[in-house]
Amino acid sequence: MRAFGRWCALVLLAGLGLQLFFALRIASMAVLAPQSTSFERSQMWKIVSRQGQLPWRQEWVDASAISPKLQRAVIASEDSLFAQHGGVWWESLEKAWEKNAKAKALAALRAQRRPDGKSPPIKIVGGSTITQQLAKNLFLSGERTLLRKGQEMLITLALESFLSKRRILEIYLNSVEWGEGVFGAEAAAQHYFQKSASRLNDWEAARLAVMLPRPRYFEQRAQSAYLASRANTIVARMADVVLP
């Protein structure tokens, strides 16, 4: 029994130590830009393993060097209440869980009707805020477990506690993926439009914002009708966005 108690105490201390590590790292980001994220490192490994080389584009720029049009477009597309919520938009999460549950139930029903009994691919709907996406990209893996989701929530709250909304958006825009080995707004603007992130127009900004959920997919489908249609929708919404 004592051994079990010691083991539980060690696990608890390890968990507390990990949270302290995350808190200190996040606090330092108020003045220091993160050199890389967990997601970037995992992508580097995949690219090198597949290609034997590392074609990589990323250049950190201050928020002032990123067009407000792109900032508005990303918020309009990814998290319309970014400036108002405290890191987690519970209503959006609840809706996403409901949609995913219905999609899984429908897929199971369709699998029963198929001769091979295999379930068709399920499109998982996300309900994460920009802060939650940054929390996951900075420190966590892509696995979908309750434990990882719980850790994401804690990191999200720490980001909102230690950093301003403007700084959260700045780090997000400099580290988010925009294609195979393309990370950050400056690299994306240069890669797709051969111009700096500060010079993007409304349509270009909206086009980049719409790519974010599936950047590698849309990189190969630049003429997608959905991409163009969705970009037009985001352009129409950008004027209503409140920047932090």
Ranges of each domain in the chain: 49-86+164-244
Residue with tokens 């900075």: 138
C-alpha to C-alpha distance for 7 and 128, rounded to whole angstroms: 34
- What is the pLDDT confidence band of residue 98, given thresholds at 50, 70 and 90? low
What token pair was written down for 165? 């909304």
pLDDT tens digits, one per residue of 124-162:
445 689 999 999 999 997 777 888 888 999 999 999 999
Give the pLDDT confidence score for residue 122 in this predicted structure.
42
Stretch 170-198: mean pLDDT: 97
Question: What letter would DSSP give residue 198?
Answer: G
Q: Write down the pLDDT at residue 135.
A: 96
Q: Each residue of 43-59: b (16+ CB within 10 Å) or e?
A: beeebeeeeeeeeebbe
Domain 49-86+164-244: give its CATH code: 1.10.3810.10
Would you state the pLDDT for residue 228?
Answer: 93
Kindly tell me if the per-residue pLDDT of 41 is higher than 60. Answer: yes
- pLDDT tens-digit map of 66-77: 999 999 999 999
Average pLDDT over residues 216-232: 92
In whole angstroms, what is the distance from residue 118 CA to residue 80 CA? 37
Collapsing DSSP states into helix, strand and coil, what is residue 129? coil
Q: At what angle do helices 146-162 and 2-28 cross, to 10 degrees?
A: 40
pLDDT number for residue 2: 73
